[in-house]
Amino acid sequence: MTESTTLAASVHRNGLLSRLSAWFSQERVFRWIPFVMVEGMFILILIIPFALTIYISFLRWRANRPFEQAYLSGLRNYESVIADSGFWDSLGRTFYFAGAAVVFELIIGFFLALMVHQITRGRRFYITILLIPMMVVPVVAGYNFSMIYLDSGPLNQILAPGLNLFDINPRIRWLSNPIAAQWAIILADIWQWTSLTFLIFLSGFSALPPQLINAARVMGASRRQTFFWVELPLLKPAIVIAVVIRSMEALKMFDPVVLLTFGGPGTSTQTVAYYLWEQVWQFNKYSFGAAASIMLLIIFSVLIFFGIYLIGRQGKAIERGEA
Amino acid sequence: MAQIGLKEVVKKFGDFVAVNGVSLDVHDGEFLILVGPSGCGKTTTLNMISGLESPTSGEIIIGNRVVNDIEPGERGLGMVFQDLALFPHMTVFENIAFGLRVKKTLEPDIDRQVRAAAEAMHILPLLGKRPAQCSGGESQRVALARTIVNDPSVFLMDEPLSSLDAKLRVDMRTELKALHERLNATFVYVTHDQAEAMTMADRIVVMNGGLVEQIGGPLDIYDKPASRFVAGFFGTPTMNFLQGEIVAANGALTFQCEHIEHFLAENTPDSLAGKQVILGVRSEHVVVNSGGQQGQVKLIEPLGDVSLVFFESGGQEQLVAKVAPELRFSSGDQLTFGFQAAKCHLFDFDSGTRLN
């Protein structure tokens, strides 16, 4: 008798399973599965936190009190962000860091690409070497730089002979002098991300049609004329793309600050990303941080849309053959 | 003075030999065409004349000086490239003016010369446009105007018509030839299209595998191909080739293969008797409805002015005859055929060189 019950149960279970799998394998059901999974992920990790951030930005709440005591307080958080000089100072500093870093990354990356493009022998080797910094995990890069910048570290050792000539104390305190610390962070960013601009420019150089350069040569153009009249104008799209991509990334600069200076000395190396992190995770000012990040989102969005507009305009110009 | 000389020019890319000892002379004011299949070294040869490639060994002489180590821009050449190589970021005017700006010509002179060149090529209304806004034929004219404005004594052209459609290509051939007459300059032109070579050239250089196969006037090459390769390369449809043996019988030489026997012309040297050869005969020299050979029609291609009849003769390779369109055949018909003895070409079976 027991045998027949288990048999019946298994038939029942199998029936249910097969009915379920039959239901799933209908096309009208099945075609929703990938969609639901992707969209579900999207809602879970983007939409919900984003909605919560907006909600929290209108609350009066600090994480050292229970959430039940939080209450809506209108735009008060936004008012205090606008009134907060720390926010604006760090935002200004971010633009300063990003601007300086991106300018150097573009110039150095451009010249490296120009040189590597002309190498025929061992080109792969140089490309590999020059791309390594980009592949290094930012935390590792930051940690390495924290050692390079030690008072008795390798950077000062290398600089010492030169500095002695000018009677400058060779123990430059890279991370505790405000200006030196700012440039220490910019330098770390340049080291890591010049690889990317190099890569963009190298692909730009490789995409230059050789016939155009030959045509210029046959017409007697010098190397300089060919570069400024033919190659550089044709590289404009690559330049715009490099500027936009690097600027977007550099405005979010965070890792080198945490790893090298913790925003110090004082607040001299606080970027806006670091400032937000500190307000929220160190001072528990959740609702203030939420409001500040929403404002930052608006400011950066405007910049990014402008960047996308520039890339798009460049793309259309290429289609029209104007480049 | 714009004669060009190549002396035993060799170009190697690593282990690959692109040009293997080419010697030729281009006369002043000549329209010389380098022709051959892809990879035969014709473009490499042209690039060595222009200076874009430097020869591995040998000498290149323009005028009276050896130019091996002279920059392309200082050789006094104009070049039209296969894909035209117009600068996409410049207007047509700026494209044409490029060479003049390089030479630091004064602005009013640039304007005058560019307009003159544009007028000569009938592209005045295009001056403000970008190359991408021009049609294929217009771009072609812009590329030519950009070259003639610099007034070079030698024009190098690397398959400049390959991007045009068939009709326009035929029109441009006539125009290029007229341009050559007008400018009285030396033209060196590269193409893989034998019809282009035949119609435009004063002399043709046929290249194959990095070597020159034959140099000569268009009709010389057509009538007396120096090798089996040249014979097969020129003319449409391709020349008929039959493989067989030369037999001496009753004081006359005959060509014999499996099912075909053909009496050779009287001037055929007797020393060829007993040799394995390839007999080549053009489709227009195959006589149909007379002669002693039997064949069966497989396919007819009526072209209007003539018809091409493809037929088989007892399992041999397919043969083709060019016949008057009034002769109506249909597939499966039996026909008789023969070859015009004086128009048969004999090639060595192994080396492919001409024997008669």
Same domain, A218 and A177: yes
Mean pLDDT of A304-308: 82
For residues B10 and B65, the answer to whether their CB atoms sit within 8 Å is no
In the predicted model, what is the mean pLDDT of residues A215-232?
89
DSSP string across A123-161? HHHHHHHHHHHHHS-HHHHHHHHHHHTSTTSHHHHHHHH
Are A211 and B81 a contacting pair, CB within 8 Å?
Answer: yes
What domains appear along chain B, each with residue ranges and CATH number?
A: 4-232 (3.40.50.300), 239-348 (2.40.50.140)
How far apart, in Å, are the Cα atoms of A220 and each of A259, B98, B102? Answer: 54, 10, 7
Q: What is the CATH number of the domain that holds A282?
A: 1.10.3720.10
pLDDT tens profile B41-57: 999 999 999 999 999 99
Asked which of A14, A47, A72 is the last residue of a domain, the reply is A72
Rounded CA separation A191/A134 (Å): 9
What ranges in B165-216 are assigned the alpha helix state H? 166-183, 194-200
Whether residue A94 sits in one domain with residue A15? no
Position A2 pLDDT exceeds 70 = no
Q: Degrees (nearest 5) of the Cα angle B259, B264, B265? A: 160
Q: Which residues in chain B are closer than 8 Å to A322, comparing Cβ atoms?
A: 88-89, 130, 132
Question: Residues A61, A156: one domain?
Answer: no
Pair (A175, A28) in one structural domain: no
Residue A92: CB atoms within 10 A of its CB come to 11
Instruction: Find all residues with CB under 8 Å of B166, minimum gap 6, and list them.
Output: none
Measured on CA atoms in the order A225, A231, A237, A239, is the torsion positive or negative? negative
Closest CA to A78 of A56, A63, A62, A93: A56
* First-to-final CA distance of chain B: 39
Dist. CA A308–CA A152, nearest whole Å? 45
**In this predicted structure, what is the pLDDT of residue B254?**
86
Q: Which of A72, A94, A109 is the last residue of a domain?
A: A72
CB contact (8 A) between residue A234 and residue B89: yes
What is the pLDDT confidence band of residue A1, given thresholds at 50, 70 and 90? very low
pLDDT at A78 over 50: yes
Q: How far is CA A82 from CA A76, A87, A89, A303, B305, in A?
A: 10, 8, 11, 19, 88
Residues A28 and A139 in one domain: no
Chain A partners within 8 Å of B73 (Cβ): 217-222
Question: How much is the mean pLDDT over chain A?
Answer: 85
Q: Name the CA radius of gyration of chain B, rounded.
A: 25
For the segment A147-173, the average pLDDT, to the nearest whole number, is 80
Whether A54 and A100 map to the same domain: the answer is no
Q: What is the pLDDT of residue A19?
A: 86
Position A322 pLDDT exceeds 70: no
The residue segments making up the domain with residue A41 are 2-72
Both A214 and A250 in one domain: the answer is yes
- Are both A124 and A229 inside the same structural domain? yes
Q: How many domains does chain A have?
A: 2
The sheet that has B319-323: what strands, in order across it?
B319-323, B307-312, B286-302, B334-339
Q: Is A224 on the interface with B (CB under 8 A)?
A: no
Do A31 and A86 share a structural domain?
Answer: no
Range scoring the smallest mean pLDDT among A100-104, A304-308, B4-8, B181-185: A304-308
- pLDDT of A303 strictly over 80: yes
* Other CB atoms within 10 Å distance of the CB of residue B250: 5
Q: Is there a single domain that holds both residue A97 and residue A17?
A: no
Burial B111-121 (b: 16+ CB within 10 A, else e): eebbeebbebb
Q: Which spans in chain B are helix H?
A: 42-50, 92-102, 107-120, 136-148, 166-183, 194-200, 218-223, 228-233
Residue carrying structure tokens 């230059």: A208
Q: Looking at this protein, which amino acid is placed at residue A234?
A: L
The answer to which of A12-21, A235-244, A292-301, B16-25 has the lowest mean pLDDT is A12-21
Look at B133 and A321 and tell me if their CB atoms are within 8 Å: yes
What pLDDT, on a 0 to 100 scale, did the predictor assign at position B294? 84
Residues in chain A: 323
pTM above 0.80, yes or no: no
Residue A262, pLDDT score: 83
Same domain, A192 and A216: yes
Same domain (yes/no): A254, A308 = yes
Choose among B73, B83, B133: nearest Cβ to A219: B73
B13 chain-A contacts, CB cut-off 8 A: none
**How many percent of chain B have pLDDT more than 90?**
35
Distance from CA of A229 to the nearest CA of B (A): 9
- Domain final residue pick, A72, A102, A132: A72
pLDDT for B81-120, tens place per residue? 988 889 988 889 999 999 999 888 888 999 999 999 998 8
* A203 and chain B in contact, CB less than 8 A: no
Count other Cβ atoms within 10 Å, centred on residue B14. 5
Token couple for B161:
């018509």
Residue of B nearest to A214 (CA): B52
Statement: residue B287 has pLDDT above 50: yes
Residue B3: φ, ψ to 5°: -85, 150
| Cβ-defined contact of A218 to B71 (cutoff 8 Å) | no
Locus of tokens 């935390």: A139
Q: Cα(B286)–Cα(A63) distance, rounded to whole angstroms?
A: 101
Report chain A residues whose CB lies below 8 A from the CB of B89. 233-234, 236, 322-323
List the 262-321 stretch of A: residues with Cβ below 8 A of B: 320-321
Q: Which residues of A touch B78 (CB under 8 A)?
A: 218
Q: Could you give the 3-state DSSP secondary structure of residue B135?
A: coil
**The pLDDT value given to residue A7:** 52
pLDDT at residue number B216 = 93
d(CA A293, CA A272): 9
